[in-house]
Amino acid sequence: MKKVFMFLFVSLTFAGAGFAQTGGSTEEQSSEVKNDTITYLKKGLGYSYTLGRKALNMTEIGSMLKDNEAAYKMYKGAKGIGYVSYPFAFVGGWLSGYELANLLFGKEINVTKLGIAGACVAVSVGIASVAEVKLRKSVQKYNEGLLNPAPSPSSDDVAINFGITPSGGLGFTLTF
């Protein structure tokens, strides 16, 4: 029984490390490449974000997204969700390492702790993938803002209209 658990654990560890090292064959880019456009492509189990030829980390992405309020709000949400996954990853990694050490020193393996470790790692991966999706959507929103900027208001856009208000009455609307 111990050998089966050890083989399964080592196999999954090497398989995960092997898949993480391979480059993605499919390229997914958010839109046409422009000078300020952030591109992303699938690499291993996650995504790689670049600006031109420079790879970006989370801090650099955040500083770029500050210009677009909606994209920056989504970015902060993704970052917060990512932080939630850290305790689960820590507990899962610690428990699985502890049980692996027990196995290596010839002690009995606690299947309950190993199950809890696996559940914690699975929850951590799930939460981290939600954060990654949210980060990718924030980058898409930022790029859409670059390609389709909002029209700047001018003095020619002032209009006064008479119509029905949302509460059912009559009123004037001033658009500028």
Query: Which helix H or strand E contains 54, and what residues bound it?
Result: strand 54-55
Residue 166 has pLDDT above 90, yes or no: no
- Residue with more model confidence, 9 or 174: 9
- pLDDT mean over 6-28: 54
With a cut of 80, say whether residue 24 has pLDDT above it: no
Residues near 31 by beta carbon (within 8 Å), at least 6 away in sequence: 37, 140, 143, 144, 147
Query: Is residue 75 within 8 Å of 61, Cβ to Cβ?
Result: yes
88-141: pLDDT as tens digits: 999 999 999 999 999 899 899 899 999 999 999 999 999 999 999 999 999 999
pLDDT score of 159: 60
pLDDT range class, residue 11, cuts 50, 70, 90: low
The runs of H, that is alpha helices, within the chain are 2-21, 58-65, 69-104, 111-147
Give yes or no for a contact between 55 and 49, defined as CB atoms under 8 angstroms apart.
yes
CB 159 within 8 A of CB 113: no
Average confidence (pLDDT) over 18-30: 44
Which has the closest alpha carbon to 93: 111, 112, 120? 120
Greatest mean pLDDT among 34-48, 89-103, 154-168? 89-103
- Rounded to the nearest angstrom, the gap between the alpha carbon of residue 117 and the centroid of all alpha carbons in its chain is 23
72 pLDDT above the threshold of 70: yes
Question: DSSP labels for 133-171?
Answer: HHHHHHHHHHHHHHHSPPPPP-GGG-EEEEEE-TTS-EE
